[in-house]
Amino acid sequence: MPKDSAGHLVPGRVSAMRPVPSRIRRPEYVGKPGPAPYTAGDLYTPEEIALIRESGRIAARAIERVGEAVRPGVTTEELDAIGHEFLIEHDAYPSTLGYRGYPKSICSSVNEVVCHGIPDDTVLEDGDIVNIDITAYKNGYHGDSNQTFVVGKASEEVELLVDRTRESLNRGIKAVAPGRQVNVIGRAIESYAKRFGYGVVRDFTGHGVGRAFHSGLIIPHYDAAPQYDDVMEVGMVFTIEPMLTLGTHEWDMWADDWTVVTRDRSITAQFEHTIVVTERGAEILTLP
C-alpha cells in the first residue's frame, strides 16, 4: 500500500567500511578527523572543469546504476555495495568514505531523512522513497550529485513531491548567471516550492566543490537575501541540491551524528547537480 506523508524509520545495523584498492588516489582527508583548510577559491580553468565533469559523469552513472536496483526488498546496504563497486571500476574514490568518519560510499536517505542517511540493513518497502547521493573523486577533483527514487508505487502526494523537487532544482539552475548573487538561486527554488506549501530545508545547502569536497561557499535553497551575496562568476563551480518536505523545514539529528530527519517526520525529497557558471548561465557537470 502507498505510504502516508510521515515516516517511521529506526536506525539499522551498519557494516564495516568497504576497501578501496591502493591504486586509487585518496582525497587528503581520508584517515584524518577532517579536511585541511581550503583557500584556493571556487573558480576553475576549462581544463579543471573537464576533470570535474569526468568525476561528475562517473557519479551520475553510479547513481543510475544504483537506481536500477531500487525496489521493494532491497537494503540500503546492498545499494551502497553497487555504488561502491561502480566507482572502483572507474578508478574513482567514493568521496564520502572516510569523510569526517562517514563509514559508507553513498548516502541513502529514506522517507523522512533529509540527507546523510547511512546505508545499513534497512529494507526498502513499496511506497518508500530513497535519495541516493554519490560523489566521485578522480584526478584530484570531486563531482557531486544525487537523485530521489520511488520504491515501487508511492502515494500521489509523495510522487508529486519528488517530481516538484526535481523541478525546483531545474529552476535553481535556470537562475544561475554571471553577475548575480548566489541567493537568487534560493529565491527561485523557494518561490516555486511555496506554491505547493512545501517546507524548504535551510540549514543544509549547496556548496562549492571541485578541488575540495566542500569549499566553504554556501548556496542557500531559500530566499536568504541579503545574506549569501557572493557574486557568481564565469568558471565558478558549486552544487545546487534543494531539499523539500511535506511539512516543516526543521530537523533533528540521529545519535550517529549524520542522519538528519524532519522534526515532524514528514517525507522529504532532494535532487542535486554540480554546475559551472558560464557566460550564458550554467552547465551541468553531473550528467551520465
- Take residue 146 and report the three cell numbers written for it: 544525487
- Does residue 241 have a known ligand-binding role? yes
- Does residue 159 have a known ligand-binding role? no
Within 13 A of 55's CA, how many CA atoms are on the CB side?
Answer: 30
| Single-letter code of the amino acid located at 219 | I
- Does residue 133 have a known ligand-binding role? yes
The CB-based long-range contact list for 151-154 (8 Å cut-off, 24+ gap) reads: 151/70, 151/71, 151/72, 151/124, 151/125, 151/126, 151/127, 152/71, 152/72, 152/125, 152/126, 152/127, 152/128, 153/2, 153/126, 153/127, 154/2, 154/3, 154/127, 154/128, 154/129
DSSP per-residue letters across 28-93: TTTTSSSPPP--S-SB--HHHHHHHHHHHHHHHHHHHHHHHT--TT-BHHHHHHHHHHHHHHTT-E
Decide: 262 and 195 in contact? Cβ < 8 Å. no
- Does residue 144 have a known ligand-binding role? yes
| Single-letter code of the amino acid located at 15 | S
Decide: 243 and 199 in contact? Cβ < 8 Å. no
Rounded CA separation 83/134 (Å): 8
Task: Identify which of 132, 116, 219 has the alpha carbon closest to the alpha carbon of residue 172.
Answer: 219
Q: Which helix (H) or strand (E) holds 8?
A: none
- Does residue 272 have a known ligand-binding role? yes
- Does residue 47 have a known ligand-binding role? no
- Does residue 116 have a known ligand-binding role? yes
* Annotated binding-site residue numbers for substrate: 116, 214
* Annotated binding-site residue numbers: 116, 133, 144, 207, 214, 241, 272
* Annotated binding-site residue numbers for a divalent metal cation: 133, 144, 207, 241, 272
